Amino acid sequence: MSDLEFHLQGEQAATTAAALETFFAETFGAEIRRENPPPPAVGEAEKAVDSIAVAALVLSIPGALLAAMDLAERLKLKQKVDRLITLARREWREHGTRIWLRRRNATPLALDEIEPAAVLDAAEQAREP
């Protein structure tokens, strides 16, 4: 995986995708790619919570955007990631759309339930060949 991927599930996934696209454009000055694959495999607990998901989208953040990140930038990025997590929590609470952070060779994480360090670690992992 060369990109950082967010999987969206829920009836308002398209609305949430637009909010994320705006967030990344304003915060990072980058466009993200939108795809419509089948929903990612998640654990039984997540399936039960979101059993009526209608839409699924993948938003991929280009690896080139992540390539410039180093330790100093990681500290600055934490505030931006905090805002991203806040957006994910709001979308889940207000629209019922859950955003999953997909990591290489690992179970997807619900963005509204994790700490900024997990997002930064996933971004670092996405940079690796």
User: For residue 60, what pLDDT is reported?
Assistant: 61
Angstrom distances, CA of residue 1 to CA of 11, 16, 75, 126:
27, 23, 24, 6
How many domains in the chain?
Answer: 1
How far is it, in rounded angstroms, from Cα 109 to Cα 22? 22
User: For residue 42, what pLDDT is reported?
Assistant: 55
Written in H, E and C, the secondary structure of 11-73 is: CCHHHHHHHHHHHHHHHHCCCCEEECCCCCCCCHHHHHHCCCCCEEEEEEECHHHHHCCCHHH
Residues for the chain: how many in total?
129
Query: In which domain, by residue range, is 71 found?
Result: 4-127
pTM exceeds 0.85, yes or no = no
Instruction: Average the pLDDT over 115-129 and give the result.
Output: 80
Read off the pLDDT of residues 6-21 as tens digits, 9 standing for 90 and up. Answer: 888 888 888 888 888 8
Read off the pLDDT of residues 30-87 as tens digits, 9 standing for 90 and up. Answer: 777 787 765 555 554 444 444 444 455 555 665 555 555 565 577 778 888 999 999 9
Angstrom distances, CA of residue 79 to CA of 27, 44, 53, 75, 76:
10, 32, 30, 8, 6
User: For residue 85, what pLDDT is reported?
Assistant: 94
